[in-house]
Amino acid sequence: MDLWQIIHDMTLEEKASLCSGENNWDTKAVESQAVPSIRMSDGPHGVRRQDNYQTRGEKPTTRPSVCFPVAAALGASFDRVLLNRVGTLLGEEALANDVQVLLGPGVNMKRSPLCGRNFEYYSEDPFLTGELAAAYIQGLQSQGVSACVKHFAANNQEYRRMSADSIVDERTLREIYLPAFEAAVRQGRAHSVMCSYNRLNGTYACENEWLLTDVLREEWGFNGVVVTDWGAMNDRCRALEAGLNIEMPSSNGVTDKNIVDAVRSGKLDEAMLDKRVYETLRWTEWCYSGRRTDTETPYDRHDLAARAIAGECAVLLKNEDGILPLADGQKIVFIGEYAESPRFQGGGSSHITCTKVTPALEASAEYADVEYVRMFTDEGRDDKTWDMAISAAEKADVAVVFAGLPTSYESEGFDRSHLNLPDYQEEAIEAIAAVQPNLVVVLHNGSPVTLRNIDKIKGLLEMYLAGQAVGGAAADILFGKVNPSGKLAETFPLRLEDNPTYPDYAKNKTEVRYSEGQYIGYRYYDSRNMDVLFPFGHGLSYTSFKLKNLRISAEKIKEDDSLTVSVDIKNTGVRAGKEVIQLYIGYDGEDHVGRPVRQLKGFEKVRLEPGEIKTVMFYLDKRSFAYYNTEISDWYAESGRYTIYIGTSSRDLPVKCSVELVAKPLPLKLDDTLTVGDILEFTDDREVLEKLSPMVSRFTGDFSGLDGKEHRQMFSHMLDGLPLHSVKSFSNTTDEDIEAVYEFLRRLNEQ
Ligand code: BGC
């Protein structure tokens, strides 16, 4: 189809109509040109296909679909193949429900563990998030269903999310908040992006030209469609100019008319409107060509898949005395309502009406005869069964408490105010621990919790919100059919107050200052060498692994070279299992720019039979070593030594090696912050030294009376930090002398 011809044949009103939705989920059709309507649906961990939404006043109904583990759980899988599979399964369900666009994945960073929507996001790490999101998108889009990556960008809290202004410096954006979107676009080739509600550095995301055009379209090469988050529109024409295509859910005809009026009055260039319509038509064509009307979801197969997937995500946080897996013949009691009615998803737009729910209690019947006493519910103590639970625990060999965050704690639209489990659950854990030392706790939560009775718990299994089959997966792990292999994709801090965002989080009605910069999550805790409850990347297995035989393709590289690192991993236990090998990089040179001590730059999940050895390869490139330098508006890998750490958690990195990187030096910044030390570090050119030396010796003359090592040291540091233009305040150097040095350096910069 010649899309430009269609645009040419459309009326102005028809073109403007394509810039907003028809209703809650559909784009508008243009009948005169046979442009079809496209149907969207939430996402991200199930297909929330609604009916009866087309007519205002009617109550929409939601079709049942399979609820897969939420992103927080999927993040813990550290498994690209798994994410690709989840995307594919969701694509199948979307197709069967005549949905062309699934609103997901959500790739915002977990800046604070309090964010109410963290369950919908993968991780506090941008590399991990980007890799997983790209795999999910590829799976989803392989079915002909468009992904819609959200929420672009710097939308990291729910508190006043529709108006807050995220104040984030460019380097932090580039290193932390944008890379996952970049991977979703560049690697995942996402066909659509959803802009966020918030403002970014003073401009609403929907009309932020830097974000939507300079970065997204021009730098990353995105040629799909940008839709608003539902209701995230401010100025329609400005948004169009900034790079936004479709206002969702609908403009009620108002902003379409604004567009028409603006074109007629000459305020908006029609060519700009045509460009946006062209992008929309191209996307419509792609989405529509994938449409199928002959498929049905094999719900039972998907439910089984959801169980297996949930099993890959669960993180075994603690396993003292090898209390898990539970042994044959043990007298086991399950306690807590989540054993019979689990929490498995969060609240808000992602909420799925699922096809069925498998509680752990029901699934455990496949393995053992388990006693169950409720003791507490999602809402509080169950006084009727409280004492019964304690006495059942006392008589049992092991007690398994199903705990977690109540439904009312975690949802889109608001943030948590603390990290604690509810008091009644802590009291239950304490009461059970007092009579039964063999205590296992299974957690159902979308983001980190602190546990005041952690020392009394022998086995701790983090299931996250693992979708409708969560109970099946929990039983599979508790009874040892599945060997846990999840790793935390976020740090569990010891206290909320330890989190770098704590002092300011949700304490300002208009602005969110990202003052901690790139130091979020483990980047902060590791750089400050702080203790945490459970570190990023942590997760135990029923077997054990050993890493050895690290090899590196070169010991010295240039900035544009790539580097291959490989390591052998052996399953040293007696069960088959999977391990996630994690690679972090830290800069060993003198840090003049502020860098986290180590950052994740590679991960691979492998499955090993007992005794089996596999070699894992990592491919590193300039970006793996670089920070974002705003002076040159590019990634820069500085010369110096870097340590490459490999291990199985951010705090367990037994294998390491180092590489020397040689890079072209950055041009000197020739403004009044330029110091003598900067010049000496940059060049040993004789001419410049000759120019500098008389000036400096006049300066040194002032201090000739000082003696002793510490004075010399003090003096040399002062000289290092002395701005070139200030030399004249200490000596009779002239402006011309100084200008001559600047001029010389200018020439050096250009070479
Ligand atoms: C959410 C989006 C969601 C949309 C449609 C918004 O409130 O922020 O994530 O896709 O609603 O339900």
HSE on the CB side for 459, CA within 13 Å? 25
Is 615 found in the same domain as 484? no
- Ligand 1, from 107, 412, 414: best to mutate by most atoms within 8 Å of Cβ? 412
Taking the mean position of all CA atoms in its chain, how far away is CA 597? 19
Is 83 found in the same domain as 63? yes
Is 626 found in the same domain as 520? no
Phi, psi angles (nearest 5°) of residue 614: -130, 155
Give the residue from 662, 688, 713 where a domain finishes.
662
The residue whose C-alpha atom lies closest to atom 11 belonging to ligand 1 is: 230
Residue numbers of the chain with a pLDDT score lower than 50? none
Is 341 found in the same domain as 220? no
- Ligand 1, from 23, 42, 101, 233: best to mutate by most atoms within 8 Å of Cβ? 42
Is 229 found in the same domain as 367? no
* Nearest ligand 1 atom to alpha carbon 103: 10
CATH at 497 = 3.40.50.1700
* Nearest ligand 1 atom to alpha carbon 197: 8
Q: How far apart are CA 151 and CA 195, in angstroms?
A: 5
Give the residue from 289, 309, 335 where a domain finishes.
289
* Nearest ligand 1 atom to alpha carbon 161: 8
Please give the tally of structural domains in the chain: 4
Closest CA to 130 of 72, 196, 81, 179: 179
The residue whose C-alpha atom lies closest to atom 2 belonging to ligand 1 is: 229
- Per-residue model confidence (pLDDT) at position 720: 85
- Per-residue model confidence (pLDDT) at position 748: 86
Residue 535 falls inside a structural domain: no
CATH at 64 = 3.20.20.300
Q: What is the DSSP letter of 235?
A: -
Residue 199 falls inside a structural domain: yes
Q: What is the DSSP string of 385-450?
A: HHHHHHHHHHHSSEEEEEEE--GGG-BTTB--S--BPPHHHHHHHHHHHHH-S-EEEEEE-SS--B
The two three-digit tokens of residue 207, written as one number: 């009309």
Residue 668 falls inside a structural domain: no
Q: How far apart are CA 434 and CA 425, in angstroms?
A: 14
CATH at 641 = 2.60.40.10
* Nearest ligand 1 atom to alpha carbon 43: 10
What distance, in Å, lies between the first and last C-alpha atoms of the chain? 51
Q: How far is the CA of 175 from the centre of ligand 1 (A)?
A: 26
Interaxial angle between packed helices 709-720 and 686-701, expressed in degrees from 0 to 180 and rounded to the nearest 10: 130
Q: What is the DSSP letter of 500?
A: T
Is 186 found in the same domain as 42? yes
The residue whose C-alpha atom lies closest to atom 7 belonging to ligand 1 is: 230
- Per-residue model confidence (pLDDT) at position 698: 62
Give the residue from 245, 263, 289 where a domain finishes.
289
Q: How far apart are CA 406 and CA 449, in angstroms?
A: 12
Residue 314 falls inside a structural domain: yes
Is 303 found in the same domain as 274? no
- Mark residue 711 as left, alpha or beta (left: phi above 0; alpha: psi -120 to 50; beta: remaining): alpha
Q: How far is the CA of 311 from the centre of ligand 1 (A)?
A: 28
Is 262 found in the same domain as 139? yes
Q: How far is the CA of 229 from the centre of ligand 1 (A)?
A: 6
* Nearest ligand 1 atom to alpha carbon 42: 10
- Per-residue model confidence (pLDDT) at position 709: 67
Q: How far is the CA of 493 from the centre of ligand 1 (A)?
A: 29
Q: How far is the CA of 75 from the centre of ligand 1 (A)?
A: 20
Residue 556 falls inside a structural domain: yes
Q: How far apart are CA 507 and CA 159, in angstroms?
A: 9
Residue 669 falls inside a structural domain: no
Model confidence pLDDT, tens digit, residues 694-735: 777 766 665 556 566 666 677 677 778 889 888 877 777 888
Is 419 found in the same domain as 331? yes
Residue 294 falls inside a structural domain: no
- Per-residue model confidence (pLDDT) at position 30: 97
Is 574 found in the same domain as 489? no
- Per-residue model confidence (pLDDT) at position 681: 85
- Ligand 1, from 40, 349, 412: best to mutate by most atoms within 8 Å of Cβ? 349
Closest CA to 403 of 488, 345, 319, 336: 336
- Ligand 1, from 53, 229, 352: best to mutate by most atoms within 8 Å of Cβ? 229
Q: How far apart are CA 415 and CA 504, in angstroms?
A: 14
Is 582 found in the same domain as 457? no
- Per-residue model confidence (pLDDT) at position 660: 98
Residue 687 falls inside a structural domain: yes
229 is an active site residue: yes
Q: How far is the CA of 442 from the centre of ligand 1 (A)?
A: 30
- Asked if 296 contacts 56 with a C-beta cutoff of 8 angstroms, the reply is no
Q: Is 737 helix (H, G, I), strand (E, B) or coil?
A: helix
Closest CA to 40 of 251, 194, 209: 194
- Per-residue model confidence (pLDDT) at position 685: 81
* Nearest ligand 1 atom to alpha carbon 349: 12
The residue whose C-alpha atom lies closest to atom 12 belonging to ligand 1 is: 349
Q: How far apart are CA 604 and CA 609, in angstroms?
A: 16
Is 459 found in the same domain as 369? yes
Q: How far is the CA of 151 from the centre of ligand 1 (A)?
A: 9
Q: Which residues line ligand 1 (CB under 6 A)?
A: 42, 103, 150, 229-230, 349
Phi, psi angles (nearest 5°) of residue 227: -110, 155
Q: How far is the CA of 83 from the centre of ligand 1 (A)?
A: 21
The residue whose C-alpha atom lies closest to atom 4 belonging to ligand 1 is: 230
The residue whose C-alpha atom lies closest to atom 3 belonging to ligand 1 is: 349
Q: How far apart are CA 673 and CA 391, in angstroms?
A: 72
Catalytic residue among 26, 42, 79, 229: 229
Domain that holds residue 58: 3-289
Q: How far is the CA of 52 from the centre of ligand 1 (A)?
A: 18
In degrees, rounded to 5, the angle at the alpha carbon of residue 278 between the alpha carbons of residues 274 and 281 is 135
